[in-house]
Structure 1
């Protein structure tokens, strides 16, 4: 009942290398267009981008810590000079935290404007 018209050479379902390469190129092109439609950012060099992000994160955290430390030290010095022990220290810590957060936000905006 089997047909012997193809002499046992049934190539149905087999894709040649040229066709496979062409399909792969079309699929890659379609994937790129799909990424653009979705609004995905283009792929960048991962190690370089990761290094920049780590650098920025350390810079922001250092600015925040420095603000708190400087504010605390100034508050402590004022307390030692005036004798109003915890009041100026608390105010200095709060002021330093605010300045640190402000500097971190300013750095983030500067980084965003570069993109």
Structure 2
């Protein structure tokens, strides 16, 4: 074994090029895996929705304590947080729908040929 010379880098490079030329590539999947599960999407929507309420309520509560205007700022910011949470949910759902539509278009293109 000590008598065997180590292969040169040029030899290694040549063998790698030959191997790359013979490999066609990984087989294509018929349908790509889903980007997220339904459970994950539902959890994300729930967090988006409830975080608006919580953050708005906390900001209002803190401002009420600071300015001594209980409960007006908390109520105001609670509703602002609710609106922000609903807006976030609408944005996420629209994005998810656009991704689903793009995936459906891609799938129909693959089926056509």
Q: TM-score, normalised by structure 2?
A: 0.56
2:52 corresponds to 1:55: no
Alignment RMSD:
1.9
Show CA shifts across 1:50-91 (max 9, x none).
Answer: x62111111011011111000000000110011000000000
1:23-71: CA deviation from partner (whole Å, max 9, x where unpaired): xxxxxxxxxxxxxxxxxxxxx9xxx77x621111110110111110000
Runs (4+) off by over 6 Å: none
Aligned residues: 69
1:109 counterpart residue number:
94
- Residue in structure 2 matched with residue 68 of structure 1 by the alignment: 53
Mapped to 1, the partners of 2:82 and 2:94 lie a distance apart of: 18
Q: Which runs of 5+ in 2 are unaligned?
A: 1-30, 101-113
Shift of 1:98: 0.5
The higher radius of gyration belongs to 1
- Counterpart-to-counterpart distance in 2, 1:74 and 1:94: 11
Q: Secondary structure at the match of 2:71?
A: helix
Q: Aligned with 2:41: secondary structure? A: helix
TM-score normalized by the length of structure 1: 0.55
Please, which runs of 5 or more residues in structure 1 have no aligned partner?
1-43
2:77 corresponds to 1:82 = no
